[in-house]
Amino acid sequence: MKPSQLRPNGVILPTIMTPHFAALTAAYQLHYYFCFKTRYLHPLIAKPDQRILVEEVLQEVCAREGYHLLERNIEQDQLRMLVSLKPSQSASKVVQMLKGNTSRQFGISFNHQLEHYRSRTLWSTGYYARTSGKVDLEKARAYVDAQVRHHEYQGQWTESLSFRNPHFSSPVFQIAHSVCILNYHIVLATQQRLALFDEAIAPNFFKYAMAVGNKHGFAIDRMGVMPDHVHLTMEARPDISPEQCVLALLENTRYWMTKNYYGVLKQTNGWDVWEPSYYVGSVGDYSTAQVKQFLNNR
């Protein structure tokens, strides 16, 4: 018998308790707005050939790494862009790849330009990053808050299904030399849509999920815990991908449910707790359509 199949009190757990959460599938729409500034705001990319080089390197890196460059605006002292990413890709890694490759190629082709301004690199330290989405953040929050009403649950018991983090204040994470505000709307479904959560479990689940976020680099803003699925909005560090956030929630809350609500899982045969799939969408103060319009009008 494997140690993982034993609880502290010696109760044997079913072998199905090890789902393959590493093989998650996702429905997603993740859009990020990035802004890089040149070193000391020198006009390093003011000439057409310099901008063409930056554009070509951007296209090459995005094609190689699987980023989707939706819009870009290249000015003499800054680069602004809207990029679509996969859940497994983190914002900080994308920034590292884009800044590093464009700066290196610029130094090879226009080293005289850098020497003229006594600059060693094309870009200044740090960056600006924010998420956007099909809807803005406030609409996503309102959608999460309205889940009980949306699914037509009624009665006093439903008061224990919606939660807000009283300590949430954005930006949650302070990043040296950078401003990063990355917000997501996530939906998780229980195994085979079994009704695992009720008004007694939901408040404790919310508290534990917030503790998971504190440990793994994200902060939950608010949450709607329905019997068979969960909606939440959160803010994450740029070095943590959305997929990592979801995996942390699935694995840790599954362990927590097994430890604290073994009887519920036994009664429902919901040992896996979660479906190995999820939805994640980026949201922000501005919608993706507004960001595109902003970039096109500059």
Dump pLDDT digits (tens) for 103-139: 999 999 999 999 999 999 999 999 999 999 999 999 9
DSSP structural state of residue 4: G
- Residue 161 in tokens: 């299904």
How many Å separate Cα 219 from the centre of its chain?
11
Query: Contact 140/233 with Cβ under 8 angstroms?
Result: yes
Structural tokens at position 2: 């494997």
For the stretch 146-187, pLDDT in tens is 999 999 988 888 989 999 999 999 999 999 999 999 999 999
Q: Which positions ≥6 away from 176 have C-beta within 8 Å?
A: 126
Q: Of 272, 298, 255, 291, whose CA–CA distance to 20 is shortest?
A: 272
**pLDDT score, position 51:** 97
CATH number of 30-126: 3.30.70.1290
The confidence score (pLDDT) of residue 24 equals: 84
Give the distance from CA 227 to its chain's centroid. Answer: 24
Q: Using CA atoms, how far apart are residues 215 and 101, in angstroms rounded to an integer?
A: 32
Alpha helices (H) in the chain, listed in sequence order: 48-65, 91-109, 111-116, 137-145, 147-150, 201-216, 242-260, 262-268, 288-296
Span 187-229, pLDDT tens digits = 999 999 999 999 999 999 999 999 999 999 999 999 999 999 9
The owner of tokens 């097994």 is 258
30-126 shares its CATH topology with 135-285: yes
Which architecture, in CATH terms, is 135-285? 2-Layer Sandwich (3.30)
Task: Map out the domains of the chain as residue ranges.
Answer: 30-126, 135-285
